[in-house]
A and B are shown apart, each in its own frame.
Chain A
Amino acid sequence: MATTGLYSQHLHNKKVLYLRNTVIAIILIVLAAATLFPICYMILSGFGPNVSTAGNMRTILPSRLTLESFDAFFHFSDYSLRWILNSFVVAAGAVIGNVIFASMAGYAFAKIRFKGSSFLFALILVAMMIPYQVTQVPLYILMVQKFSMTNTYAAMILPGLCTAYNIFLCKQFFSGLPTPLIESAKIEGCNQFQIFVKIILPLAKTVLAVMAINTFMSSWNDFFWPFLVTNDPSMYTIQVGLKQFKFANETLFAPMMAGATISALPMFIMFFALQKYFMEGVTIGAVKG
């Protein structure tokens, strides 16, 4: 039993307790089913037959289960598989960059006393509040017109290589580590780099995992930026490709759902494998923020 006193425990009447909990559980399951429905519909339809005429296939459950819609999705473009690969490359780049650079910066802001640190950190905090609409046009001009980096992985990865939010997240976490630990390592003759690698990083596995997962998710699901800096179908990410598919084929319902399923699949796999870190990620950011 959860230890909240909000609910009466009905100590003298267990039946009332069970009845109440059953009713609540039913309400919760109905509500959850409503929010899960679009996703279930997407997956089920993706496994349905590849019917292309509108009207006759919009049953909720597909008439039979088959992989032909996935096949159709992969044959829609020469680059369907490449889109998935591109997404992986971009997301992996963002994850590696953030894990290394944001954790180093976060550690410095939390535990190294250097001149200007509070000013620079305040600057990063302010940057977190600026809506992306402000930076999108100058960033686009910078990457596309000044650097001519259209259709490169670098253009997709670089702007998100070390986000202000991740620096903030790491700083919050490292501030909670005991300073005497670092001081004693210094007396033993470790320099800051050795302290960071040998003492701090092993203690920071959770926050690094949370950061890696959040970064991967937002990078994998990002549509807007890759859409702006790519115009060659071979360099699309899966999200950009899916959007092209939507406008090219208004009637290819099942392959579109198959594509949407594929685009969500890596996230689903990660979610079920690493659920703990997903949940942790929510509270790490929210409670301390």
Chain B
Amino acid sequence: MNATKPKRQQVPHKLRFTNEDLWGYIFIAAAMIIFCVFTLYPVFSAVYTSFFNYKPFGSEFVGLKNYVETLKYSKFNLFYKAALNTLIYTAVVVPLSLLMSFCIAVMILPFKKKTQSVFKAMYYLPGIASGVALSVVWLWLYDSSPDGIFNRLLGVFGIPAQNWLSSTKTSMLSLIIMALLSSHGVRIITYIAALLGIDNSYFEAAELDGATFFQKVRFIVWPLVKPTTLFLLVTGVIGSFQVFMNAYMMTGGGPDNSTTMIGLLIYNNAFVYGKYGLACAQAILLAIAIAIMSLFQFRLMGVDVEY
């Protein structure tokens, strides 16, 4: 900081910004303009719009009506249906994919660096294809004719062909299977980085005490990678609450709204029915739900995690 001191004295007394301040503002100027126009303004605008019945010319102030309409309980209120669907999807997909990623990461560990990289790449690869491309493929895998790949697989076990995506019984299951068989690359690589960071002395001590492999995993590895698990859990839940692409491309929310997720509901309200105010109110409720869930998970898991 010595270098800046002489400069500070040169600045006239009235001007309160130092040279350093000005450089800072120059460097962040472009980013902050973009941020204000395309993030900050839309957020405030969303809050504002949520109190209106939006029309391109002259919106009408409706107070809390959009929120009341969203939260008013009735059998036909799609918001609760969509919330329940999203919760079920999240509750199955997030913990199972965490567990799968953890197990795969542990299994990749005993190999040499080069072999590890090959496995990492294999598991990462499916994640770089776009959601549209993957949905197009999965639509055909789930084809309801007996020729569909999944139906053939069932046929091997003597189970009759299913209407995967077009039956209320299997539509949600189909989306869940798709999520579980998609890429776990990011989670696996994150776990491996955490696993390689565990100090060997823990294992040496456990070895002396005669611990089995599974005891080591249970009592050393799992507690020590807890911060990673927490991070992946929170980001996983946040991502899963916003899930849109699969439901939109694969089922369109159907049949009978059995796969309508919150993300899709908001999209439909906004861009299919033109109810911008209602969509904004629901999006804000979603944001609040995500914030509460994240805090809750930090509390629940974070008790003995130190940062």
Contact = CB atoms under 8 A, between A and B. Distances in A.
Interface of A: 1-8, 20-21, 24-25, 27-28, 31-32, 34-39, 41-42, 45, 54-55, 58, 60, 97, 100-102, 104-105, 107-109, 112-115, 117, 120, 123-124, 127, 129-142, 145, 158-159, 161-162, 164, 167, 183, 186-187, 191-193, 196, 217, 220-221, 223-224, 228, 239, 242-243, 246, 253, 256-257, 259-261, 263-264, 267-268, 271, 275, 278-279, 282-283, 286-287, 289
Contacts of A105: 27-28, 30-32
Contacts of A6: 106, 109-110, 195, 198, 203, 213, 216-217, 220-221
A6 B192 CA distance: 13
B38 A139 contact: yes
A221 B183 contact: no
B132 A242 contact: yes
Contacts of A282: 124, 185-186, 189-190
A39 B132 contact: no
Nearest to B194: A287
Given A35-B123, A167-B35, A267-B130, 11 more contacts: A5-B202, A6-B109, A24-B111, A28-B104, A36-B126, A41-B141, A112-B20, A115-B17, A134-B286, A257-B140, A286-B228
Contacts of A112: 20, 23-24, 27
Interface in B22-42: 22-28, 30-32, 34-35, 37-42
Closest A-B pairs by Cβ, 9 of them: A114-B24, A5-B203, A105-B31, A108-B27, A138-B45, A221-B130, A138-B42, A135-B42, A260-B133
Contacts of B249: 243, 246
20 contacts: A6-B110, A6-B220, A21-B111, A34-B181, A35-B123, A35-B183, A39-B137, A100-B30, A105-B28, A113-B20, A114-B24, A133-B287, A135-B43, A137-B279, A139-B38, A142-B41, A242-B136, A257-B136, A267-B129, A282-B189
A286 B113 contact: no
Contacts of B134: 38, 260
Contacts of B56: 145
B23 A263 contact: no
B110 A246 contact: no
B112 A133 contact: no
A115 B21 contact: yes
Interface stretch (B156-164, B236-244, B296-304): B236-244
A220 B130 CA distance: 8
A7 B46 contact: no
A54 B231 contact: no
A199 to B, nearest CB: 14
A288 B95 CA distance: 22
Given A2-B113, A58-B148, A260-B133, A130 B43 contact: yes
B197 to A, nearest CB: 9
A109 to B, nearest CB: 7
B154 interface: no
B43 A127 contact: yes
A198 to B, nearest CB: 15
B176 interface: no
B131 A223 contact: yes
